[in-house]
Structure 1
Amino acid sequence: MRSLTEEQIRASFVNGSADELRLLTVPHDFPLVEWDHQDFYAWRDPRTRGRGYLVTEVDGEPRGIVLRASEGSSQARAAMCNLCHTMQPADQVSLFSARKAGRAGEHGDSIGTYICADLSCHENVRLAAPLAPNEVRASVDMRIDGTRRRTEAFVGRVLETAGSRT
């Protein structure tokens, strides 16, 4: 991923209201991000409970989405993140929703998916952790590519409005 400034990050959001973007807080370690090693950039807002942000490149341009984590808890013992395909204890995976961009989002349309609760998918695919039962470990490069593709596809679904992209 190419290097981004805080201003570029703020300008990349396609589904955030003016108030949400005004309240956006970048992580304190933002100046230390090694962009060459990022497939996408995601973080939980330290000041706003339940809010997260994800920025990735779509068609060569940075596109960011505002995420909301559900507040419910799962009765499951384990869950899989739909971005990094990592099995985790259920309390470490949350249902995140994102308001769609454009008119669809203005009318309340949103989509959701299960994502690592701390939005650490980027790091999780690089860990050489022990396998969970029935988990097949692909090569790290394949896991990184798959996570990037699934992340771009999720952001692409947020961008879809009435059959066209915004």
Structure 2
Amino acid sequence: MKPLTENEIRASFVNASRREAKQAPLPRHLETLGDRWEELDLLGWVDSSNPQRAYAVVPVDDEPVGFLLRTAQRTRKASAMCAWCEDAFATNEVSLFVARRAGAAGRDGNSLGTLVHADFSCSAHVRRMPNGMEGGLDPLALVDRRVAELRARSSAFARRVRDGS
């Protein structure tokens, strides 16, 4: 992912009013990312003052598409697979997030949901080396495939939010 400034992040939000984008808290670690932007396929964070609200910025056709998300209160613990990274081993901290669609569809109340790691750690999950159960002759090729699939799934979700369809 290419590095983003505060202004680029705020301008990327497609399903937020200007006020919501201006008031959105930015991730605490934004200034310390440095060279680690290359290790990110998406930027996601939870609002520390309101854990029911989260934000994500995903590259779509080399342009950042940001969106606001809501998560339901957790009433029971259940394991689930993240729909973006599809890591079958990291299933404990996956939450249902819902994004209001952009434009008229969102104003009409239409939204889109997905199961994602609660801390948006998908980039780290796809970059871990395969274990013995995943096998394969070329572990680096498997990691590259996981990265490509994460990018494809997360950008497909971002497109659907942005395009309202």
TM-score range, shorter chain: 0.7 to 0.9
How far residue 59 of structure 1 moved from its aligned partner, in angstroms, is 2.1
Aligned to 2:12: 12
The equivalences for 1:14-163 within 5 A come to 14-33=14-33, 34-74=36-76, 76=78, 78-87=79-88, 88-90=90-92, 92-128=93-129, 130=131, 136=134, 139-161=142-164
Q: Are the aligned partners of 2:84 and 2:122 in contact in 1 as well (CA < 8 Å)? A: yes
Aligned length: 157
Unaligned runs of 5+ in 1: none
The amino acid of 1:159's aligned partner reads R
Q: Are the aligned partners of 2:82 and 2:91 in contact in 1 as well (CA < 8 Å)? A: no
**What's the CA shift string for 1:74-127, capped at 9, x where partnerless?**
564x2100000013344x110000000000001110000100111111111122
Q: Are the aligned partners of 1:83 and 1:151 in contact in 2 as well (CA < 8 Å)? A: yes
Equivalent-residue separation in structure 1 for 2:87 and 2:135 (angstroms): 10
How far residue 26 of structure 1 moved from its aligned partner, in angstroms, is 1.2
Equivalent-residue separation in structure 2 for 1:75 and 1:121 (angstroms): 20
Unaligned runs of 5+ in 2: 137-141
**What's the CA shift string for 1:140-162, capped at 9, x where partnerless?**
1111111011000000110123x
Equivalent-residue separation in structure 2 for 1:38 and 1:120 (angstroms): 9
How far residue 42 of structure 1 moved from its aligned partner, in angstroms, is 1.1
SS of the equivalent of 1:125 reads helix
Equivalent-residue separation in structure 2 for 1:47 and 1:145 (angstroms): 33
Equivalent-residue separation in structure 1 for 2:155 and 2:76 (angstroms): 26
The amino acid of 1:126's aligned partner reads R
Higher normalized strand content (fraction of residues) = 1
Q: Are the aligned partners of 1:27 and 1:46 in contact in 2 as well (CA < 8 Å)? A: no
SS of the equivalent of 1:7 reads helix
How large is the Cα RMSD of the aligned pairs? 2.1
Equivalent-residue separation in structure 2 for 1:70 and 1:36 (angstroms): 31
Equivalent-residue separation in structure 1 for 2:160 and 2:10 (angstroms): 20
Q: Are the aligned partners of 1:96 and 1:114 in contact in 2 as well (CA < 8 Å)? A: yes
Equivalent-residue separation in structure 1 for 2:94 and 2:111 (angstroms): 19
Equivalent-residue separation in structure 1 for 2:62 and 2:77 (angstroms): 40
**What's the CA shift string for 1:7-52, capped at 9, x where partnerless?**
1000000001344323311122211222223211111121222111
SS of the equivalent of 2:128 reads coil
How far residue 137 of structure 1 moved from its aligned partner, in angstroms, is 6.3
